[in-house]
Structure 1
């Protein structure tokens, strides 16, 4: 199930990057060809970027392409599992911070609107608590085993 969620998150991230590229392309076309940039493109692309970066980051925790000290892992061999566990623990704690404070941020800005889109500002920050939860859930097996599921061949 976790592997399926991670694949969906990566797919969503790729789709978000493509959509953002199209939106920025439309903005450039409007600015230079039509002499009129659409007002919504900048905010829409920024919100999309928050969404796809946060969800791809959560998938990265599962896939094991998060920040690691690969050289140290290669040099230490199997004894690097302790380092991997510590990194996973830090990531899980960071995920909990994103979950708690991201939810508080969404609640705090729910009444503010993005002027050019007419959406609640909370829409931009919804991925913070969701990806924080997913990062924590994806890091737990790594804390217990010292390796990501993908590295173990369980994906």
Structure 2
């Protein structure tokens, strides 16, 4: 069961990065079209800015979740080196519990926020305003899931292998 959980998390993490890279390409393309429209055609596409902003939210939140799994986030490793091994293990578990708790709180409040504005439309896109807040929900759930993987790996005295290896 543990191996399946690790494989699932690695796959989800990898696909989040694929989506984030595609989103980055979308941002660059959208902004390039916006600049071309503004300065060459003197007619800026109305949807370009809103699209780029939505894409930025998804890229940022998915990237943050992957950073938690692949240990790419800011950590306290420099301080943890100074403490004894037994205490270091306990502190690492506390850190992952706090990060996972933050993820769950972020997911919950993101869902409340998304639901509260879902009836409103993004004027230039015609899409529900709530799609701007769904990345909080997705990333929060993934952060909690990835933190749980780190906690179990610490208890099993294993390392979480980044999804890119």
The answer to whether the aligner puts 1:19 opposite 2:41 as a matched pair is no
Distance apart, 1:77 and its partner CA: 7.2
Whether 1:113 aligns to 2:117 is no
Whether the aligned pair in 1 keeps the contact of 2:37 and 2:44 (CA below 8 Å) is yes
Unaligned runs of 5+ in 1: none
Compute the displacement of 1:103 (Å): 0.8
Change (3 A) 1:113 1:148: farther
Structure-2-length-normalised TM-score: 0.83
Q: 2:136 aligns with which of 122, 125, 128?
A: 128
1:96 aligned to which of 96, 104, 112: 104
CA contact (8 A) 1:113 1:121 kept: yes
User: What do you get for the CA RMSD once the two structures are aligned?
Assistant: 2.1
Cα 1:77/1:59, change in 2 over 3 Å: farther
Query: Match of 1:142, SS?
Result: helix
Q: Which ranges of structure 2 fall in alignment gaps of 5 or more residues? A: 1-7
Normalised TM-score (structure 1): 0.88
